[in-house]
Structure 1
């Protein structure tokens, strides 16, 4: 048990570091798969199913065989991973007892050498939900402790992904706001230059900027920046 706890602790630390350093969701889900296999004894492969409006897909995996097994479930619109995603509950399966429920899934999994399956629901936000799937080559069916470990792991993954995605969304929004503020500032400068140099009002100045933007198919900010640059150059010694 002590060795297992050490392995789980190491996996969680590695996952945290991966979430901090990965640049996009796809890379983060790859890390989630890699560490999931370390966390749960008996897990030999892992995948992440993402359920979207157009259907389910495998967004990350540690072994190509997991993709093939997932695909059969998507085609049948049912299976352990989809059941976990739909019900919000962990699904623990020994393939010896699952043939009546999911014959195509069982046949494909057994052909791939898989005897056990464990799936936990993953619900991060409106754009990312589905399941974390574990595959075991043995027919042990996983144990109750395995379900508990995967549930704990999924909770940490959910929190980590949610926090990381929100942080990056906030950074992206801040970047857009900064660009918008800079655009507004340079447009105000250009408008002031036109008003001063032509003796026109504010509305006429902005009308001229917009007209040039449309005539030249150039962004308004670029038109304004060019005007400010030319005005600065003309006043340089």
Structure 2
């Protein structure tokens, strides 16, 4: 209603970040277009409060009542306390939404970069050229075909790999995971060196053999 008429207590609150109060729409001289329509819908009193978060205005809190004078000083004071709490919750929700959008944009950027890097590697192998030359070839080809570099890179990777490129692997913490072993291979097991009786060898295993002279020759230990 207020957006349609272009006036009203809510729009006034959003504009000046101050409380706006109508005691009785039938006698309010301000915002006459809004008051006439609000009165026709049974609204007699209104209260609009700004929601002020840590970074500024995040919205408005509007209350309507079918009785005139419904929002006295005591009610307004209690509603201001509520509006302050609500503003903090709304500001937190907006910040979380912004962070989620930022994470999605970052993941999309990493995925796009991963595909381009794969395509550059393919061009390097095929043309036997440097990274800079491969990227320059990719750029010229994208211009000639009027395609984005990422789109052309995805085509190259799909052609060579026989399937569309997927997103870069990530660990449970959200960081990029290191590459795993090649398919069909087993990771090499690392074991400690063992002694002649099965126990671990302490210290370095690069000792020179010691020869001990005996009555019947030398013994190497």
Distance 1:118 1:70, change over 3 A: farther
Question: What is the CA distance between 1:120 and its match in structure 2?
Answer: 0.5
Alignment equivalent of 1:163, drawn from 78, 87, 92 = 92
**C-alpha separation between the residues in 2 aligned to 1:130 and 1:71?**
18
**C-alpha separation between the residues in 1 aligned to 2:108 and 2:12?**
44
Structure with bigger RCO (C-alpha 8 Å, 6+ apart): 1
**Residue aligning to 1:206:** 135
Deviation string for 1:185-232 (max 9, x for gaps)?
221222122122212222221122122222333332232233233334
**Residue aligning to 2:180:** none
Deviation string for 1:1-60 (max 9, x for gaps)?
xxxxxxxxxxxxxxxxxxxxxxxxxxxxxxxxxxxxxxxxxxxxxxxxxxxxxxxxxxxx
Q: Does 2:126 match 1:223?
A: no
CA contact (8 A) 1:90 1:147 kept: no
Question: What is the CA distance between 1:172 and its match in structure 2?
Answer: 1.4
CA contact (8 A) 2:44 2:65 kept: yes
Structure 1: gaps of 5 or more residues: 1-66
Deviation string for 1:88-142 (max 9, x for gaps)?
3323321178533444443333222221111101345889655322111111331
Question: What is the CA distance between 1:165 and its match in structure 2?
Answer: 1.6
- 1:22-101 alignment, distance < 5 Å: 67=1, 71-72=4-5, 74-75=6-7, 79-95=8-24, 98-101=27-30
CA contact (8 A) 1:82 1:130 kept: no
Alignment equivalent of 1:177, drawn from 106, 110, 115 = 106
Alignment equivalent of 1:190, drawn from 119, 122, 126 = 119
Name the SS for the 2:103 alignment partner.
Answer: helix
CA contact (8 A) 1:183 1:221 kept: yes
Count of residue pairs the alignment pairs up: 163
TM-score by length of 2: 0.61
**Residue aligning to 1:8:** none
CA contact (8 A) 1:122 1:131 kept: yes
CA contact (8 A) 1:190 1:228 kept: yes
CA radius of gyration, larger in: 2
Query: Which structure 1 residue ranges, 4+ long, deviate > 6 Å from structure 2?
Result: 125-128
- Structure with the higher helix share, 1 or 2: 1
